[in-house]
Amino acid sequence: MRSAEPAGAGANAPRWDITLPSRRRPVRLPGVVMAGFSDRANELHDIALVPHPAVMLLFDLGDEPFVVEDGRGAQQRERVVAGLAPHRARGRGLARSSECLQVRLSPIVAHAVLGASADLGGTTATLDDLWGREAVRVHERLRAAPTWEERFAIARAVLARRDGTGRAVDPEVAFCWRRMVAGRGRVRVERLAAETGWSRKRLWSRFCSQVGLTPKRAARLIRFDHAAHRLAAGHGTASVAAECGYTDQSHLHRDTMTFAGMTPAAVAVAPFLALDDVAWPAGHGAGT
């Protein structure tokens, strides 16, 4: 178990105990990472969820409700799915005795596991709408499990089973996503189309239907994620903009406002990003 606390936070700032799966029993499904969070600070928290290039599942396992709300006012709780780049989502709740299991899924895996990638782009939803009663049964098993390792084992088994029965994305779409991640979002869509042998129109259509975002917006999200972590690591706005391929600082500012609803300076100290290097030590989560 490891602890994380936002840099420069005050005495009443949220503090999380984070538990990762044992290295002896890793998550063997490619594109999936998970972590357990516990917070007993007994404080009301309102945390902006900085978008990441992965679909997030959140199972609330604590005694107090934790609500995820998007910028359009929709609220989800208990079993939450946040698609790629949910619109200015925030987590709100009383942290007394709170626990949650967070799972990050590459959209390539999410398409098979959830079966609704196109409907999740830019939104939050309840897992019940996707899995029906199975979502409730899985949640009940997670709540009843006495240890984090048992919770991780339950989640691993459920995801592996659903991935085995779900519909895989087209190999060309998976190739394009991985090329985007490897290039940190700095790959032209026309070049990807040429490399797959598809027309730009066909790539656009198939990618949207299976990933949930257009190729261009997905690439922007991946680039923004890299920039956000560079900002959180203490690098200046000008150097981050240049390193990440933005035309200037104003360009970076527009993307941070688009994806996170914050300025680059606010992103740099966002509490949610303070968790990443602790909860997702291998490349910041399920980007591949």
pLDDT in tens, 220-279: 999 999 999 999 999 999 999 999 999 999 999 999 999 988 899 999 998 888 778 788
Q: What pLDDT digit, counting tens, does each position of 123-165 carry?
A: 888 899 889 999 999 999 999 999 999 999 999 999 999 987 8
pLDDT of residue 226: 95
Separation CA 277–CA 267 (nearest Å): 15
Dihedral-angle region of residue 100 (phi above 0 means left; psi in -120 to 50 means alpha; beta otherwise)? beta
> Which residues does residue 19 pair with via DSSP β-bridges, in sequence order?
36
User: Among the ranges 63-67, 74-78, 181-185, which has the highest mean pLDDT value?
Assistant: 181-185
State how far the Cα of 105 lies from the Cα of 288, in Å rounded to an integer. Answer: 9
CB atoms within 10 A of CB 74: 15
Residue 11, pLDDT score:
41
Torsions phi, psi for 185 (to 5 deg): 80, 5
As a whole number of angstroms, the distance between CA 197 and CA 203 comes to: 9
Q: Of 275, 276, 273, 237, which Cα lies nearest the Cα of 254?
A: 237
At the topology level, CATH places domain 171-268 in: Arc Repressor Mutant, subunit A (1.10.10)
pLDDT tens digits for range 67-124: 777 767 777 778 888 888 876 666 665 445 578 899 999 999 998 898 765 567 778 8
Where, residue-wise, is CATH 2.60.120.10 in the chain?
2-168
Is residue 47 over pLDDT 80?
Answer: no
- Mean pLDDT for the stretch of residues 202-214: 93
In the chain, CATH 1.10.10.60 covers 171-268
Q: Structure pTM?
A: 0.88
Mean pLDDT of the region 163-183: 92
pLDDT at 10: 41
**What was the pLDDT predicted at 242?**
97
Mean pLDDT within 9-14? 45
CATH superfamily of 2-168: Jelly Rolls (2.60.120.10)
> What's the confidence (pLDDT) of residue 110?
92
